[in-house]
Amino acid sequence: MSDTGQPADDAGLQALIDRLASGPPTGHADWTQGALQWAAEGLPGLPALLPLLTHAEPLVRLRAQRVLERASRDWVAQRVVERPLARRVDTAWAYLWAHNGSYDWQGDEANRAASVERWRQWLVTPQLPAAPG
C-alpha cells in the first residue's frame, strides 16, 4: 500500500479484491463474509477500500459500496441520538452520503472518481455535515 492509500501494484489491488470477496456466501451477491468483516472495521478500514470503488468490475464496486455504506452509517449511528419514528440516523447518513458525492457503483466514471476523492478527504477529519437548508 502506498502512502496515498492506493495499492502499490496490481498484486496489491488483487489482494484487496480477494479480501472483499472472501468467505462463504451470504445469500446476497453484494455481501460476502469478507465485506461484512471489512465493514465492521468501521472508518479505519475505509482508506484501503477506496480504490475498489473505481474498479472496472461492477461487482467489486457494488461490494465496496456496501462496505462504505455500512461503515459510514454505523459511524453516524454512534454520533446521532435517535428518537422513535424520527429517523435521525437515516437523515444524517443521507446528508453525509450526499455531502460526499452520492457515490453510485453504477454511476459514470467521472462521478464515481469525484465521490471517492470527497470520501478520501472526509476520512482525514470525519465530521457530520450540517443539514441542508
pLDDT by residue (tens digit) across 39-48? 999 999 999 9
Quote the CA–CA distance of 4 and 108 in Å, as a whole number.
Answer: 23
Amino acid of residue 76: V
Sign (positive or negative) of CA dihedral 102, 16, 14, 28 = negative
pLDDT of 83 reads: 85
Question: Across the chain, what does the average pLDDT equal?
Answer: 89
Residue 3, in any domain of the structure: no
Residue 22, in any domain of the structure: yes
Residue 129, in any domain of the structure: no
Sign (positive or negative) of CA dihedral 107, 113, 118, 124 = positive
Amino acid of residue 61: R
Per the structure, how many domains does the chain have?
Answer: 1
Percent of residues, the chain, with pLDDT higher than 70: 92
pTM of the model: 0.87
Residue 85, in any domain of the structure: yes
pLDDT of 73 reads: 97
Residue 131, in any domain of the structure: no
> Containing domain of residue 89, as a range?
10-124
In the numeric block, which cell numbers belong to residue 116?
A: 471517492
Higher pLDDT, 105 or 8: 105
